Structure 1
Amino acid sequence: MLVFLDIHSGFLQMFNHNSTLVKSRANSDIQYGRGVIAHNKSVTFYHHMDFYRSPNYTTAKKLATGISCFELIPSNINLICPSPTQIVSYLSVGCPKGRHLVLKRPAASEPCDTVDTYTIGKEHFLHLDGTSPTQDKVVHYDLVRLGCPVRVDSSHNFLPQLELYDGEEFVRPVTGNFILWEEQGRTDYSYNATMKQAGCHKVAQTWSQIRDEQGMLTDWGQGWGPWNYRSCFEETNTVIDSSLLQRPYQILNSTGVSWLQFPNTHDSMYTFRARIVDPNYSFCDLEISFAVQTYGAQHPEDLTVTMITVGGIMGAVLLGLLGSYFVYRKQTSQAFATRMMLVKMLHKEDHSHQRESPVPKKRTSVLGDIWS
């Protein structure tokens, strides 16, 4: 802080000796208190380079990195000014030392349950050249590099929550766009949102597009990063086929709609690597590797037991219905036979009464006898 007596109606001057790296803007105000008038000057430093618009991201980032010098000095200096009469500050523009990504883990983390090796079925991964393997792959789990795996219920979607740290000090949650890939080439996971659901105005970048452009790969994460990232949310005058926007949206964000989905047919281990692709988010090349272990899948033996149980229950219900039907038929037949027997008995009784009753004689009319 630079404090001096304002007896000559002076003001505080600021000199930026490297304005190509950092810009500045100043705000001045006056405060009154205890008979003293204080002229305060607040200076805000900011970076003005838009790497997204730069034709060459790598070159532009190098040119925007370095040391910038600022000097603050009163406009009028004389012998009665207290020392120091000026302040010289140096600002380092670039990636802070020790800055890195950390995966935020669930608050109630389960015990670290890792294995030395795990197996990936040949139907669940591809080689770097895109060909299908002919046998399963056995992978060594690197606990030192990956740490404990995050356990995820396969029936739930998963979105990695990333945080920025300077050494051991927390800085802030990551809000920039990032991508990820499976380090072993696994293909048995997907994204739950389409480009249209994410709000894209044009077709977004995807791993298949990047790999088609790059050709032969030497690493699964090759070819896609802040140096060639393009947003799909920019307005465009080009007419887009709406069916193209039904493709999966593979760019993740802490507030985005696209999450990872895992199959519920088998439990497995996934080793992911995430990379920040937003070119204006940081001067640092931010990447992190982590593991996800899924659980809760319906295994074939579980399905067999379930089918047997359901089949047994359905069989028991069917037998019960058949038994009830036959009992009902038997009871109905007996009731019908009893009713018929009663009807026959009633008919016999009516006939016997008719034989016992005298037949009434025919009456002859007197008038009829006379006229005849």
Structure 2
Amino acid sequence: MLVSMLLAAATLRLCLLARVQPLCRNHTVRTGKVFHISQQIQGDQLYFSSTRAHLIKHPCKKNIALYLGRQIFFTRDNFKSSLLPLSIPASMKVGTPEVTSAHIADSVLLLVVNQKIYIYDYEANSWNTSIGIEHPVSHVSGDNCCYSGHPFCVDISNSVFAYLHGDQISQTNVYFSNTRGYRFQKFAYERQAELVGSLGGIFYFHSLSQVGVLLIDQGKARFGYSEHPLNSSFGLPFDYNGTLDILITPGQKGILIFWFEKSLLVSRNSGQLVYPVHVKEGPNTLYSSISEANITIHSVAANEYELAVLTQENNLYYCSLGILSSSLIKFAGQNLWSQEAALMFTDVGRVEILTPLPDSVFPAFDFQKCPVNIQAVLMDPQLQVDVCKAELLQGEFDNKMYTIDMNSKLELTALMIPRPGMSLVPLAMVSNPHSLGLQAIIYEDGYTYDGNTKHRLNISLRQQHHWGRADPNFTSSIKRPTGSTITLDIANKEISCVDLKPLTALISVGCDQEKKIVIQNEISACHKGILDPVGLQDNYSYVIEKEAYDPNFQGQKASEDLVVDYQYKKLGCPHLVYYNTPWKPVVELWREGKFQEVIKAEFVLLEVHGLFTYTYSLTAQTALCRAQPQNWTTIMENPGNKGPFAWDRENYVSCHDPDNDAPLRWPNVPYQILGGPTANKVIFDQRNGIYVFYISIVDPYYSYCHLETTFSVYVYGAFPLSIIPAVVTIIPLMVAMLLSVWLAYAVPKLLHTEKGLRFKGFWIHPCRRSGAARVNRTPVKRRSRAPGGVRGDPLEGLRHSHESR
């Protein structure tokens, strides 16, 4: 009885794996041969070094692909026409035309040929040799960003590494290019000389904003990382059997595929955790790895959400790359395998098996294609795949790019509809929680419509550093712009939910290009009638006297006056400032033409023409600095800073930072930082005129942008300086005042002494005589005798009496 049951179970399993309909139907592409009748292969025909065929698809331009095998084919129409094998011009003198690695970087194809890198610009149909590589290399690695022309996205597509696989990591030479491979320079990996093992690959994991180095030692491999906090330790080790090809899936989600003939591993966090892929054959059989399933991998293909494997046993396996781990499921066998066959995804849920076919008449090759509809295959009841529990998962943020600046947050929404009677568990995953502390929180609202329960998912994204939910050591690199990917999926989703792909958006945690700063100018010199706006626009110029500026910004007097042409279109009318009042500009933040806030963060000023007739109200000591503060002189003297206006958020170090160990040696120097925790202000010298200031926000925790601008002020109210030196006038004035005070005190006191009385009498008699003489000389009008009166001068008797005496 037991034997009969076992035979029945085995028979049932074979029946479940059998298919009446073939997995796919072959058809051959012979289009376009007429265009190749007169064409022959020009130059050296390239070939791939591996015995397994590879196929590389451009993740953004879906019709661009590269086939690597005994012949190499490059297509711009997704192999919809016959092609000549790819060859490199003989003028390049490559020697042995063996290709060991290839990468499509935006609009160029990079090929490692005979340990050198060559560039094929397929849009211009031109070949070039990379510059800067001085040692042999065997591999190139890179990624492509498909979201937008944002600088962060462009940098992803331009970044390429070149290296020699298998070389000792401590002494190998690694090269990096940010020009899509046209120009390389040596890449210095921190503590490289201390690392042990051989180099298995080096990659830029943009989902972590980290450079990852794969180290191989004694059959084990692990990743090392370049930036805090991951640089303090390694990823967990995993088995490294054979030479693993590493495939970075599109979309910057941090999913890596490691594969060899007897090994298939997956990492969902850029190599920190790497684990084998389970294999499912039938409803009840599950193997823990490829080797346990005893299958031999020939070709692997992956897109943002799916993985497909073609084996030498003529079987096709499929896997969904969701948030949680999943298993390969085996489809029924068909005669699909050949040495030249390769896999590629043409769309979500659609795989194609491609095989080049030579022609005995034409040099161009045909292509045999066998397309597989994954959704249709999974619906076969013989596979006993559970029905998808979800009817809908959609969000407007899917396949878009967003920017989160410091102190900003991002709100996303999605809609999830389960099948009636089914429950779903939504799960949002951020690919880069380490270096930026980005956290996603889901708020779920449920409502019923047309008999179905719908779930509105509200996702709030913000850096934990600004929520106060992260250890400072965990996010200490928050000052550095980074990237991440937000993925929304259903945790308990079945493999049959092929069309219900996860929702993904690329997040640039960095500068919001729409932000700018504006200096508040409510009272201008034109508004008060001091300057004429018409005159300022009519080639207005002004003179800066040589005693007031230094073209080298060192505070030394210049040798000649400077004539400055005023740029009205850029600066507008100057802000009006009274010279004798401490002043600080009011800085406003604007975004997309709308006012956001008044900036309270720290900033610095520098007069662009070298004027130094101003200072600051605070010193390093009165600003309560713990360490010696930076100033424009120290910034300009730093050899790493280029140009006079190099003070920004990247090189600013606060003197209030407890980690700043620069000793406070000169406490009385002017403190040149405005805003922030201090009340520092600018104090102008006794000079009227126009100042043009450069302003830069230096607070590294306010924004990832280099917020900077120029503006002008007009200082008024200062009296002209005297031509006579102040010492010459002040000293005599002070002496006269002191003498007057002494005389007012000493003279009255002296008059009461004996000498004083004699001195007083000496001056009284001359005064009387002079008074009498004035009386004698006074003409007197004769009066007529009045009745009963005396005729003549009434003083005459007195005068005669005095003369007789």
The residue number in structure 2 matching 1:163 is: 588
**2:549 equivalent to 1:125:** yes
What secondary structure does 1:196 align onto?
A: coil
**2:578 equivalent to 1:153:** yes
Identify if the C-alpha distance between structure 1 residues 273 and 154 changes in structure 2 by more than 3 Å, giving closer, same or farther. same
Identify if the C-alpha distance between structure 1 residues 257 and 185 changes in structure 2 by more than 3 Å, giving closer, same or farther. same
Matched-pair contact (CA < 8 Å) for 2:415–2:455: no
State how 1:1-372 maps to structure 2 within 5 Å.
Answer: 1-4=414-417, 7-17=421-431, 23-26=438-441, 42-47=458-463, 60-61=480-481, 64-65=482-483, 68-73=485-490, 75=492, 87-106=503-522, 111=527, 113=532, 115=536, 116-128=540-552, 130=554, 132-214=557-639, 219-222=643-646, 224-235=647-658, 240=663, 244-253=666-675, 256-263=678-685, 265-300=686-721
The normalised TM-score by structure 2 is 0.32
Matched-pair contact (CA < 8 Å) for 1:149–1:293: yes
Structure 2, unmatched stretches of 5+, are 1-413, 466-471, 748-759, 769-805
The CA distance in 2 between the partners of 1:85 and 1:120, in whole Å, is: 66
What secondary structure does 2:667 align onto?
A: helix
Matched-pair contact (CA < 8 Å) for 2:520–2:585: yes
The CA distance in 2 between the partners of 1:239 and 1:285, in whole Å, is: 25
Identify if the C-alpha distance between structure 1 residues 13 and 142 changes in structure 2 by more than 3 Å, giving closer, same or farther. same
Matched-pair contact (CA < 8 Å) for 1:192–1:248: yes
- Tell me the CA shift for residue 260 of structure 1: 0.6
What secondary structure does 1:180 align onto?
A: strand
Q: Structure 2 counterpart of 1:23, which letter? A: L
What secondary structure does 1:172 align onto?
A: strand
The residue number in structure 2 matching 1:348 is: none
Identity %: 24
- Tell me the CA shift for residue 146 of structure 1: 1.4
The CA distance in 1 between the partners of 2:526 and 2:553, in whole Å, is: 37
Q: Structure 1 counterpart of 2:653, which letter? A: R
What secondary structure does 1:2 align onto?
A: strand
The one-character-per-residue Cα deviations of 1:268-315 (angstroms, maximum 9, x if unpaired) are: 111100112223322222110000100111224799xxx9xxx9xx99
Q: Structure 2 counterpart of 1:4, which letter? A: I
The CA distance in 2 between the partners of 1:43 and 1:199, in whole Å, is: 42
The CA distance in 1 between the partners of 2:438 and 2:597, in whole Å, is: 24
What secondary structure does 2:670 align onto?
A: coil
Larger strand percent: 2
The CA distance in 2 between the partners of 1:238 and 1:87, in whole Å, is: 47
The normalised TM-score by structure 1 is 0.65
The one-character-per-residue Cα deviations of 1:237-263 (angstroms, maximum 9, x if unpaired) are: 96945x622221111116631111111
The CA distance in 2 between the partners of 1:160 and 1:16, in whole Å, is: 40
Structure 1, unmatched stretches of 5+, are 338-372
The CA distance in 2 between the partners of 1:200 and 1:211, in whole Å, is: 21
Q: Structure 2 counterpart of 1:141, which letter? A: Y
Q: Structure 2 counterpart of 1:275, which letter? A: S
> Bigger relative contact order, structure 1 or 2, given CA contacts below 8 A and separation 6+?
1
The CA distance in 1 between the partners of 2:711 and 2:616, in whole Å, is: 18
Moved more, 169-178 or 153-162: 169-178
Matched-pair contact (CA < 8 Å) for 1:24–1:43: no
Moved more, 269-278 or 224-233: 224-233
- Tell me the CA shift for residue 179 of structure 1: 1.2
The CA distance in 2 between the partners of 1:271 and 1:302, in whole Å, is: 27
